[in-house]
Structure 1
Amino acid sequence: MWWCVTCIPGESAPSCPVPYPPPVGQSPQPWPGRSPWPTSSAALTCLHRTPTLSFLTGEEVVAVRHLAWRTPRADWPLSRLALLLASLPLLVYLMFSFAQLVLTAYRLQVQAQALRERLATLQAEHQHLQAELRYWQSDEALEKLARERLGWVKPGETLVLVPAPRPTPTAVAAPRR
């Protein structure tokens, strides 16, 4: 079984019991249900240690090259920066889209409130007009209208008309020439 490159081969109790992939040309022995490559935190910690070069054989050097993709790289911060810069326009777009949705929702709520107030006003006016219509359709209102505007009287009643006061003529001054 292969051990991490920082472990000393032949040690009775190796400091890292995490197997690493075999050198190029040998097929890995996959663990049941898992990848043959170490992914545990112990393996990652171990892979980040500085290898002891005095104990490496030719096969182990190949294995170290094979594991190079797991070691920290000097350009990794640059990769993160590139990823951040590449995702920045997407984040800005999502932020403005969300802000636009919030603004639209706010405007719709304001408009809905104005429409509710208008509906309440129209319902009150409708109730008032319905009450007035019921009044004018009643016999009492028809009789009052007939007496006041048309001058009708019931049999046996006498109609008395009071003349409206006439305005007194005032002297108009003659225009000057």
Structure 2
Amino acid sequence: MEPRKKRLLFVAGLVGLLLGILFLPLQIKIWKLEKEIVRLEETKKMLQQEHSRLEQDLQYYSSDAYVEEFARRELGLVKPGELLVIPALPGKVQPPPEGLDENPYEE
């Protein structure tokens, strides 16, 4: 092989090596960023599902059915004409106060 071709081949190899050295860190960064994109897309999907669930919860907690259930359960409220019955715990029953009719709800 003549010296000119050897030199050209050496220079081409050197340029290729330099380009590889220059672009390898960039390619590694691209691979890392692609991996990060996949992770972020999975997180986005999970957050969208959570958002959907929270929207459903908000819709339920804003409904008349929930307000009524909460008023009955937590506040002990009843509708007009209903009678609230609280069961007594065994051994914890106290006699009615003096002067109270036997059945105050009868007319």
**TM-score normalised by L of structure 1:** 0.45
Pick aligned residue for 2:6 from 63, 68, 81:
81
Query: Which has the higher relative contact order, 1 or 2, with Cα contacts under 8 A spaced 6 or more apart?
Result: 1
User: 1:92–1:157: structure 2 CA closer, same or farther, 3 Å change rule?
Assistant: same
| Larger displacement relative to structure 2 (131-140 or 88-97) | 88-97
Amino acid of the residue matched to residue 47 of structure 2?
A: L
User: 1:165–1:94: structure 2 CA closer, same or farther, 3 Å change rule?
Assistant: farther
C-alpha separation between the residues in 1 aligned to 2:26 and 2:74? Answer: 62
Greater Rg over alpha carbons, structure: 1
Deviations 1:31-68, CA, capped at 9 Å, x for gaps: xxxxxxxxxxxxxxxxxxxxxxxxxxxxxxxxxxxxxx
Amino acid of the residue matched to residue 121 of structure 1?
A: M
After superposition, where does 1:14-93 map in structure 2 within 5 Å? 77-93=2-18
C-alpha separation between the residues in 1 aligned to 2:24 and 2:52? Answer: 42
Q: CA RMSD in A?
A: 2.3
**Correspondence for 1:101:** 26
**Correspondence for 1:136:** 61
User: 1:117–1:94: structure 2 CA closer, same or farther, 3 Å change rule?
Assistant: same
**TM-score normalised by L of structure 2:** 0.70
C-alpha separation between the residues in 2 aligned to 1:102 and 1:163? Answer: 74
Pick aligned residue for 1:120 from 40, 45, 48:
45
| Unaligned runs of at least 5 residues, structure 2 | 92-107
- The alpha carbon displacement at 1:118 in A equals 0.8
Deviations 1:79-122, CA, capped at 9 Å, x for gaps: 33334334443221112333333322222221111111111110
Structure with the higher helix share, 1 or 2: 2
User: 1:120–1:164: structure 2 CA closer, same or farther, 3 Å change rule?
Assistant: farther
| Unaligned runs of at least 5 residues, structure 1 | 1-75, 167-177
Pick aligned residue for 2:82 from 140, 146, 157:
157
